[in-house]
Amino acid sequence: MSEWHIGIIGGSGLYEPGALDGAQEIEVKSAFGEPSGPVTTGRIGGVRFTFIARHGPGHVLSPSHVNYRANIDVLKRCGVTDVLAISAIGSLREEIAPGEFVVVDQLIDRTCQRERSFFGNGITAHVPLADPVCPRLSDQAAKAAGKAGAKLHKGGTYIAIEGPQFSTRAESHMYRAWGADVIGMTAMPEARLAREAELPYALIGMVTDYDCWRDPAEDVDVADILRIMGGNADLARATLVQLAALLPAKRKASPIDTILDNAIVTGRDAWRTEAVARLDAVAGRLLGSFMGREN
């Protein structure tokens, strides 16, 4: 067992002054390029939290231009044990209304322009992703959101689109027919990369709109989205306070902590030194002895 250290990927408003005890902003370098920005680390109720603003300070990065690999790599380098993503989403179901929260349990990936893996070019791995979110962390996040006062839907399929445009009406109806419940632009490849980095991942979606499958008069409007997001910020911060209070004193091991044990298919004798160096944080648990041998 070990201490919890929760990585939060979301907006900068989640860690305004006063929310974190002993808050420190730190620049962390990644082997995979520039992350979205610095991390802010501190404690809530005795639990270590480290935040990164997905779209950068001031929301300067579109979903397609976020360096998802660098963000996950940086959180891993900070010693994070689990990752909770907090994201704005659209609803594809009448019963999931704007202003409500959804703790997602499945993902469909329709992105097409993003780096989807840390591996390849020297070391290849294939991690299982049948259940892309961590049930333990998702359950704790759902309980925390409920205690914070959110109207909550536990479970739902999130379809990740490339963006930055919203979907067409035909696409929106198609995604509903596929069984998707909510829609967004950032959960993939974020969840894929967290799994490769052996970080249990959960996602709380804050519903801002009904996408465009309903009456055309209610099509997606950015001003409405920003208004609802602003209203949900306090609720999201309260959820993190409740999460800190709910987590067990000690963190039991998760199967995701060692998911790479049977995922790397490149024979050890074929590992390239530059690939090992690049993966020093993501897969350092397995690759450390190799680096020692090379020195």
Question: Mind listing the pLDDT tens digit for each residue in 193-235?
Answer: 999 999 999 999 999 999 999 977 667 677 777 777 777 788 8
What pLDDT sits at residue 231?
72
Asked about 211 being catalytic, the answer comes back as yes
The SS3 assignment for 158 reads strand
Which amino acid does the sequence have at 239? T
Q: Are residues 219 and 142 in contact, defined by beta-carbon separation less than 8 angstroms?
A: no
Q: pTM of this prediction?
A: 0.94
Structural domains of the chain sorted by starting position, each given as residue range(s) with its CATH number in brackets: 84-294 (3.40.50.1580)
Question: Mind listing the pLDDT tens digit for each residue in 99-114?
Answer: 999 999 999 999 999 9
How many Å apart are CA 204 and CA 182, to the nearest integer? 11
How many Å apart are CA 147 and CA 135, to the nearest integer? 18
Q: Is residue 12 predicted with pLDDT exceeding 70?
A: no
Which amino acid does the sequence have at 209? D
Rounding to the nearest 10 degrees, give the CA dihedral for residues 238, 227, 75, 40.
-70
Identify the residue whose tokens are 């959180």.
75
Judged by phi (left if over 0) then psi (alpha if -120 to 50, else beta), residue 33 lies in left
Collect contacts of 228-231 with beta carbons under 8 A, ≥24 apart. Answer: 228/98, 228/99, 229/11, 229/88, 231/99
Query: To 10 degrees, what angle do helices 187-196 and 68-77 make?
Result: 40
Of 105, 109, 181, 211, catalytic: 211
Which amino acid does the sequence have at 9? I
Asked about 209 being catalytic, the answer comes back as yes
What pLDDT sits at residue 295?
44
In the structure encoding, which two tokens stand for residue 11, read together? 């907006």
Of 105, 109, 181, 209, catalytic: 209
